[in-house]
């Protein structure tokens, strides 16, 4: 009995963390970044960024979360009472809301594609489908609104747990579907060029910006830097092994990202699409694959976009919930009012993001469109900055004995590994993030 219960606990934690991590970041963002940043070389830098920068942050957040047993604010108040560390909480409220504003726009694209799949639109010639959709004014706005309404609705109705139950079905289904799409994609003429693109690194493509982008993607994909992992870890039991939970989450997350890459890139080359295309890449290539599959394409695409939608919603509700919890617990607002105000605010910002692909495409902030600007601000700056503060807190503010106690499960595991982990959290990750920041600013 005892061992079963234990196993259940472990599995639940890893599933919750993997559920937050796996989302549009893997399926939508990763493949287009691979395309924009030079293929295989980017993937290698990304894996290095996960191992050397993201994993230490993951462990730092988990250590703070479990030690304090509370959310970001509560944690700072408890572990560093009377200090300014509580301001870290502000990063962790603002960043997820900014992120949600454009996440919801992409979620809207998934809504649109789900409806297209249901109405047999991925049959025959699919070229220009996404281009026509994205540059129109109203369609993307309507679907963005639907996605945000779903997010807010789930939180208002308090059915978050109900939605998360879906993921137990949709995640494995997504996995099987993607594997199927990868295999099918490889049968298309010309697709092996895409495989080559994914595995043959051209190191001349790596520069400061590529490294910064890889780091940002590692943070985005693993839900780091805004206290999400911290909060989840606060529900972990003492005996749970933080290091192996982190490794499992990262492994699943990477697996989904790579699979998405291998689903998209071969089709990019088979269909003659530009790998550098940007945020629309997945939405341009998948319909091509589905259209090649004949009637099966309709079935696969309906299931596929449904799974993506659920994966995106489990991420978006966690993004909105951070702000709602803050307003309810710290400002005494009602849940209803907090949800409505924040959802409306992020929706409005999302409208600008959505329009930046069409009517507002001329508006540039620091040289890029509104959507790209917010994306860069969150992933390349705010989230690594939050992560930096978390590692500094664990490496320099908390006592080494406490950190050791957390990472070694009270001395029962990872005892040999601890010095390395501590070094990563105390020196390598913070210095690494600062170096990436500086080179990105000045090079």
Among 32, 220, 283, 305, binds ligand TRP (CB under 6 A): 220
- Least distance from ligand TRP to the Cβ atom of residue 86, Å: 19
Measured between alpha carbons, how far is 421 from 413 in angstroms, rounded to an integer? Answer: 13
- Least distance from ligand TRP to the Cβ atom of residue 243, Å: 20
Of 58-66, 108-116, 220-228, 300-308, which part binds ligand TRP (CB under 6 A)? 220-228
Q: Quick one: which of 295, 298, 299, 300 has its CA closest to 263?
A: 300
- Least distance from ligand TRP to the Cβ atom of residue 423, Å: 26
- Tell me: does residue 21 bind ligand TRP (CB under 6 A): yes
- Per-residue tokens: 57: 């942050």
Among 96, 297, 387, 395, binds ligand TRP (CB under 6 A): 96
Looking at residue 86, the DSSP 8-state letter turns out to be G
- Phi, psi of 180, deg, nearest 5: -60, -45
Q: Which long-range contacts (CB under 8 A, 24 or more apart) does 235-240 make?
A: 235/13, 235/16, 236/13, 236/62, 236/65, 236/66, 237/9, 238/66, 238/409, 238/410, 239/6, 239/409, 239/410, 239/412, 240/9, 240/10, 240/13, 240/66, 240/409
- Tell me: does residue 26 bind ligand TRP (CB under 6 A): yes
Burial group, residue 40, by CB count within 10 angstroms (0-12, 13-18, 19+): buried
Among 72, 318, 356, 391, binds ligand TRP (CB under 6 A): 318
- Tell me: does residue 430 bind ligand TRP (CB under 6 A): no
- Tell me: does residue 269 bind ligand TRP (CB under 6 A): no
- Tell me: does residue 24 bind ligand TRP (CB under 6 A): yes
Find the binding residues for ligand TRP in span 167-186 (CB under 6 A): none
Among 64, 210, 302, 319, binds ligand TRP (CB under 6 A): 319
- Least distance from ligand TRP to the Cβ atom of residue 387, Å: 10
- Tell me: does residue 302 bind ligand TRP (CB under 6 A): no
- Tell me: does residue 249 bind ligand TRP (CB under 6 A): no
Check if the beta carbon of residue 127 is closer than 8 Å to that of residue 280. no
Among 71, 217, 221, 241, binds ligand TRP (CB under 6 A): 221
Buried b (16+ CB within 10 A) or exposed e, 281-299: bbbbbbbbbbbbbeeebbe
Check if the beta carbon of residue 390 is closer than 8 Å to that of residue 64. yes
- Tell me: does residue 223 bind ligand TRP (CB under 6 A): yes
Q: Quick one: which of 225, 228, 198 has its CA closest to 47?
A: 198
- Tell me: does residue 315 bind ligand TRP (CB under 6 A): yes
Residue closer to ligand TRP, measured from CB, 27 or 129? 27
Residue closer to ligand TRP, measured from CB, 167 or 292? 167
- The DSSP annotation for 344-400 comes to HHHHHHHHHHHHTTTTTTT--BTTB-HHHHHHHIIIIIIHHHHHHHHHHIIIIIS-H
Among 170, 228, 298, 356, binds ligand TRP (CB under 6 A): 228
- Least distance from ligand TRP to the Cβ atom of residue 253, Å: 8
Of 41-49, 158-166, 180-188, 217-225, which part binds ligand TRP (CB under 6 A)? 217-225
Residues that bind ligand TRP (CB under 6 A): 20-21, 23-26, 96, 220-221, 223, 226, 228, 315, 318-319
């Amino acid at each position: 009995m005892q061992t079963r219960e234990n196993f259940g606990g472990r599995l639940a934690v890893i599933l919750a963390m993997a559920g937050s991590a796996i989302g549009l970041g893997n399926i939508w963002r990763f493949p287009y970044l691979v395309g924009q940043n030079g293929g295989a070389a980017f993937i290698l830098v990304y894996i290095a960024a996960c191992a050397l920068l993201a994993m230490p942050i993951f462990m730092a957040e988990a250590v703070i979360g479990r030690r304090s047993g509370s959310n970001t604010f509560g944690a700072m108040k408890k572990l560093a009472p009377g200090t300014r560390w509580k301001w870290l909480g502000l990063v962790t409220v603002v960043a997820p809301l900014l992120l949600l504003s454009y996440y919801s726009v992409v979620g809207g694209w998934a809504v649109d594609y789900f409806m297209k799949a249901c109405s047999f639109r991925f049959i025959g010639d699919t070229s220009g489908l996404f281009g026509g959709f994205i540059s129109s004014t109203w369609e993307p706005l309507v679907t963005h609104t639907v996605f945000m309404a779903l997010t807010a609705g789930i939180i208002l109705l308090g059915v978050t747990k109900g939605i998360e139950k879906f993921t137990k079905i949709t995640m494995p289904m997504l996995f099987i579907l993607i594997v199927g799409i990868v295999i099918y994609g490889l049968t298309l003429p010309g697709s092996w060029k895409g495989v080559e693109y994914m595995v043959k690194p051209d190191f001349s493509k790596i520069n400061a910006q590529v490294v910064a982008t890889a780091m940002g993607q590692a943070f985005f994909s693993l839900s780091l830097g805004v206290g999400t992992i911290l909060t989840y870890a606060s529900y972990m039991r003492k005996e749970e092994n933080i290091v192996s939970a982190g490794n499992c989450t990262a492994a699943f997350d990477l697996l989904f990202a790579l699979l998405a890459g291998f689903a998209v890139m071969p089709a990019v080359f088979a269909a003659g699409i530009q790998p550098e295309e940007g945020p629309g890449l997945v939405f341009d290539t998948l319909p091509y694959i589905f259209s090649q599959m004949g009637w099966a394409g309709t079935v696969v695409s309906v299931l596929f976009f449904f799974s993506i939608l659920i994966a995106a919603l489990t991420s978006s509700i966690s993004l909105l919930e951070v702000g709602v919890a803050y307003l309810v617990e710290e400002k005494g607002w009602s849940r209803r009012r907090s949800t409505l105000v924040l959802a409306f605010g992020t929706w409005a910002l999302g409208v600008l993001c959505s329009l930046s692909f069409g009517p507002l495409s001329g508006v540039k902030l620091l040289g890029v469109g509104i959507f790209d600007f917010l994306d860069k601000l969150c992933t390349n700056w705010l989230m690594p900055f939050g992560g930096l503060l978390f590692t500094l807190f664990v490496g320099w503010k908390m006592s080494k004995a406490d950190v050791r106690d957390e990472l070694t499960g009270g001395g029962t595991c990872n005892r040999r590994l601890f010095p390395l982990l501590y070094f990563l959290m105390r020196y390598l990750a913070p210095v690494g993030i600062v170096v990436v920041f500086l080179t990105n600013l000045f090079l």
